């Protein structure tokens, strides 16, 4: 078998379901390997054609969020790998394992099968191709010999899935993939497996003791609580011990949005009074320029990489660090706290009642503001509220990339919410939602994004993928005709400056706004423009009905105020 074919068989043996691929002139041995293996009846991952590499990376990301299973992306030499770089940065920031492969232009000009045959063989050569993604990848290597295929792929997957998880990269020279190898044993069990993270018992017990004696503990959570068990355990723990949970810039949901201990996303009042701060897998649990824990407060960090070692500057105080999967840590902590249950629960009950009343009032104010946003032009909060009401009672997942904000939504399970990665690689929400829909076809998947993010997603490519693979998602463009995040950042630094007072802030406008409905209709999707806040609920109902009856994508271009 060719080394290219053996690589594909090996990936399937390791449990890889899909290869998200954008092929090029370095792919002949991969394509021949696919045909060769299929002719022999060998089991292979399903290879999907991706019209753009950024969509390939985000779909692998979304698939992992749905299943917890690592997938493979294959790109074309250096140019395809360059298009993968943003996806690799996003995956690294969010601890998403991805097997990233790209071809490498042939290194020989003649004398070997697979040597250069067209001018781009010279034009695509680099001194250090892996440098394009090295800082975002845990490990990189170039396949040197065809007989390495099995062991190198085994190592790549084991390292990707070892905590802290993340993408790995393997370069595949064409001449090496073209060589024949003895494929005996290519489907054998993996040579190595990822290390299993554990919970350090003494550290865990110390954290449990601190919670038991704390007067005003608080939990900060940005990346959820792991799986369904961690989500339920954190909800129970917070309620039993009267601990507010602040989901500041949440990337995933850690407990239901209407939970009595779900605090407003403002760290300031919680940090001011806290004597114990527990940080669950949070890259930046608060803004040091605006907030700080009390000098005598204890600060605990829990997560697969609690100090975020790959981030050069991250100087949040940490008195105790527990390195483990956040779900394992929450479950173990919930169990350990049972031994510390106080005889007199009066202080805990009083604390719980105080926070529950504060949180209820804060949520009521949030919903009131959202209701007031229905006037034209409508607000993002009104769009969130309408979407929440439209999907109520459904098994739904919302991806938001500078689109619908979390606070007005009523969400109650661990896969209900995913926000754009904190690395800010735009264009993620649309293809990540497609990846989740691919993994779980029965789930209602919603992608919400700003107009700028939608343009970054290579929408023509993503709509083609949705139609080709029958992936009917609901796509909401929350359209303010500008780079809203940039404008807010400028206004935050220079609230009284010239730019903030200008009628049109420089370098933020996206006018004239394209007719995004035409982009969607080019791939036979349902598409509407919504200008009126009162009309939004009916438009959402029509879009959902279209998805259910036709099985194709529905897009709403929703015009909101800047």
Residue 194: inside a domain:
no
Residues 120 and 153 in one domain: yes
Question: Which of 86-95, 185-194, 251-260, 507-516 shows the lowest per-residue confidence on average (mean pLDDT)?
Answer: 507-516
Residues 439 and 528 in one domain: yes
- Tell me what pLDDT residue 440 has: 98
Residues 399 and 318 in one domain: no
Domain extent for 277: 201-356
Residues 319 and 452 in one domain: no
DSSP string, 40-96: TT---PEEEE-SSHHHHHHHHHHHHHHHS--EEEEE-HHHHHHHHHHHHHHHHHTT-
Residue 367: inside a domain:
no
Residue 15: inside a domain:
yes
Q: Is 213 exposed, middle or buried (0-12, 13-18, 19+ CB in 10 A)?
A: exposed
What is the pTM (predicted TM-score) of this model?
Answer: 0.95
Give me the number of domains the chain comprises. Answer: 3
Residues 153 and 7 in one domain: yes
Residues 222 and 276 in one domain: yes
Residues 391 and 480 in one domain: yes
Residue 309: inside a domain:
yes
CA neighbours closer than 13 Å in the CB half-sphere of residue 136: 27
Predicted confidence (pLDDT) per residue in 120-167, tens digit: 889 999 999 999 999 999 999 999 999 999 999 999 999 999 999 999
Residue 311: inside a domain:
yes
More confident residue, 554 or 513: 554
Residues 207 and 322 in one domain: yes
Residues 279 and 137 in one domain: no
Residue 36: inside a domain:
yes
- Give first-to-last CA distance, the chain, whole Å: 58
Distance of alpha carbon 290 from its chain centroid, rounded? 26
Question: Which of 14-28, 378-392, 406-420, 534-548 shows the lowest per-residue confidence on average (mean pLDDT)?
Answer: 14-28
Q: Is 300 exposed, middle or buried (0-12, 13-18, 19+ CB in 10 A)?
A: buried
- Tell me what pLDDT residue 513 has: 87
pLDDT confidence tier of residue 510, bands split at 50, 70 and 90: confident
Residues 223 and 168 in one domain: no
pLDDT confidence tier of residue 503, bands split at 50, 70 and 90: low
The average confidence (pLDDT) of the chain is 95
More confident residue, 498 or 562: 562
Burial letters 101-136, b for 16+ CB under 10 A, else e: bbbbbbbeeeeeebebeeebbeebeeeebbebbeeb
| Token pair for 123 | 């034009």
Residues 395 and 539 in one domain: yes
Name, in order, each residue with C-beta under 8 angstroms of 532's C-beta and a sequence gap of 6 or more.
Answer: 376, 378
Q: Report whether 112 contacts 175 (CB < 8 A).
A: yes
- Tell me what pLDDT residue 483 has: 64
CATH number, domain containing residue 38: 3.40.50.970
CATH number, domain containing residue 296: 3.40.50.1220
Range 333-347 average pLDDT: 94
Predicted confidence (pLDDT) per residue in 44-90, tens digit: 999 999 999 999 999 999 999 999 999 999 999 999 999 999 999 99
Q: In sequence order, what E strands does 311-465 have?
A: 320-323, 396-401, 417-419, 444-450
* CA–CA distance, 131 with 310 (Å, rounded to integer): 16
Residues 342 and 215 in one domain: yes
Answer with the one of 328, 356, 384 that is the final residue of a domain.
356
Answer with the one of 293, 326, 356 that is the final residue of a domain.
356
- How are strands ordered across the β-sheet holding 554-559? 417-419, 396-401, 444-450, 474-479, 554-559, 526-530
């Amino acid at each position: 078998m060719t080394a290219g074919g053996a690589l594909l068989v090996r990936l399937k043996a390791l449990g890889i379901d899909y290869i998200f691929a954008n092929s090029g002139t370095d792919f002949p041995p991969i394509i021949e390997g696919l045909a060769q293996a299929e002719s022999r009846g060998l089991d292979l991952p399903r290879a999907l054609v991706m019209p753009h590499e950024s969509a390939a990376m985000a779909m692998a990301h979304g698939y992992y969020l749905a299943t917890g299973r690592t997938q493979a992306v294959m790109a074309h030499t250096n140019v395809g790998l360059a298009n993968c770089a943003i996806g690799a940065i996003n995956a690294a920031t969010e601890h998403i394992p991805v097997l990233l492969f790209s071809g490498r232009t042939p290194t020989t000009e003649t004398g070997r099968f697979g040597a250069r045959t067209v001018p781009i063989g010279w034009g695509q050569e680099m001194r250090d191709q892996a440098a394009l993604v090295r800082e975002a990848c845990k490990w990189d290597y170039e396949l040197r010999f065809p007989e390495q295929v099995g062991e190198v792929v085994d190592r790549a997957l084991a390292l990707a899935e070892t905590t802290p998880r993340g993408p790995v990269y393997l370069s595949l020279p064409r001449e090496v993939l073209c060589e024949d190898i003895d494929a005996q044993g290519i489907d054998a069990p993996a040579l190595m497996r990822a290390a299993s993270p554990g919970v350090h018992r003494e550290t865990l017990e110390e954290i449990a003791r601190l919670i038991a004696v704390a007067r005003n503990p608080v939990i900060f959570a940005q990346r959820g609580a792991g799986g369904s068990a961690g989500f339920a355990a954190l909800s129970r723990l917070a309620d039993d011990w009267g601990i507010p949970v602040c989901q500041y810039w949440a990337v995933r949901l850690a407990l239901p949005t209407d939970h009595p201990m779900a605090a407003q996303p403002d760290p300031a009042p919680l940090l001011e009074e806290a004597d114990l701060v527990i940080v669950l897998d949070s890259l930046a649990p608060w803004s040091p320029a605006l907030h700080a824990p009390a000098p005598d407060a204890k600060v605990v960090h829990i997560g697969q990489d609690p100090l975020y070692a790959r981030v050069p500057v991250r100087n949040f105080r940490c008195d105790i660090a527990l390195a483990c999967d956040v779900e394992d840590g929450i479950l173990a902590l919930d169990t350990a706290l049972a031994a510390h249950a106080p005889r007199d629960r009066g202080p805990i009950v009083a604390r719980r009642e105080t926070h529950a009343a504060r949180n209820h009032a804060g949520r009521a104010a949030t919903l009131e503001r959202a209701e007031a946003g229905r006037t034209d032009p409508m607000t993002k909060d009104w769009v969130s509220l309408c979407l929440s009401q439209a999907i109520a009672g459904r098994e739904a997942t919302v991806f938001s990339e500078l689109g619908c904000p979390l606070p007005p939504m009523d969400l109650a399970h661990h896969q209900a919410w995913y926000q754009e990665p904190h690395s800010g690689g735009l264009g993620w929400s649309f293809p990540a939602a497609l990846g989740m829909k691919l993994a779980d076809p029965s789930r209602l998947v919603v992608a919400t994004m700003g107009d700028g993010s939608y343009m970054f997603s290579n929408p023509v490519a993503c709509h083609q993928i949705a139609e080709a693979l029958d992936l009917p998602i609901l796509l909401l463009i929350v359209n303010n005709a500008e780079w809203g995040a940039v404008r807010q950042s400028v206004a935050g630094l220079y609230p009284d400056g010239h730019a903030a007072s200008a009628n049109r802030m420089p370098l933020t406008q996206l006018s004239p706004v394209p007719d995004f409905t035409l982009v969607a209709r080019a791939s036979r999707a349902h598409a509407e423009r919504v200008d009126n806040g009162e009309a939004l609920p009916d438009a959402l109902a029509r879009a959902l009905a279209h998805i259910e009856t036709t099985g194709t994508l529905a897009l709403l271009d929703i015009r909101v105020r800047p």
